[in-house]
Structure formats: structure tokens, C-alpha cells
Amino acid sequence: MGLVLIAGAFTIILPLASRLTRHLSALNAGVQRLAAGDRAARVHLETGDEVGELARSFNRMASELEAHDRLLAKQSAWRGNSSCAGRSRTRCSLTAR
């Protein structure tokens, strides 16, 4: 009887653990891509549990970082275009240091 209960428990636990491991591996892969500079990295997990909530939070954070990077690039380009207006290239280079 005890072996039947243990076998039944494993039958239930192993698929759940496997699913959790797959989801966490997908989330980890997204984190690694984002850390490597891929601001378009997103995790596609449609679960209603805490891991799904974490994936949605990760995707929100990645979107915010992507938008922030775009804003910084625009500001940098704007500064690059406007800071040297009307000055020679040499004079601009000397004052930019």
C-alpha cells in the first residue's frame, strides 16, 4: 500500500516539477538575453501562477528598458546635433571634453 501511494505521489509531482522547471528555464533565458543587451527579449509564458506573474513583470521591465534606451538615443542624437551648432569641428571637439 505504501509503495502505491509513493508511486501515485511521483505520478503527480514529477509533471508539475517538470513544468515549473521549463517555465523557470524560459524565464532565465529571457533574463540572460536582456542582460546581454537584447532589449527586445520577452518571455512568453501564459500561466496563472506566480511564475506567470513574474514573466509578465519581466516583460513589463524589458519594455520599460527598451523605451528608456530609445529615449536616451534620441537625447544623445539631439545633443550631438545641437551642441556644436555654429562652431567649427575643432572648437566643438575641444569644448566637448
pTM score > 0.75 for this model? no
For residue 95, pLDDT over 80 is answered with: no
List the chain domain ranges.
26-83+91-97
Report pLDDT digits (tens) over 20-74. Answer: 889 999 999 999 999 999 999 999 988 899 999 999 999 999 999 999 999 999 9
For residue 21, the tally of other CB atoms under 10 A from its CB is 10
What is the pLDDT at residue 93? 53
Handedness of CA 45, 50, 55, 56 (dihedral sign): positive
* Contact call for residues 30 and 58 (beta carbons, < 8 A): yes
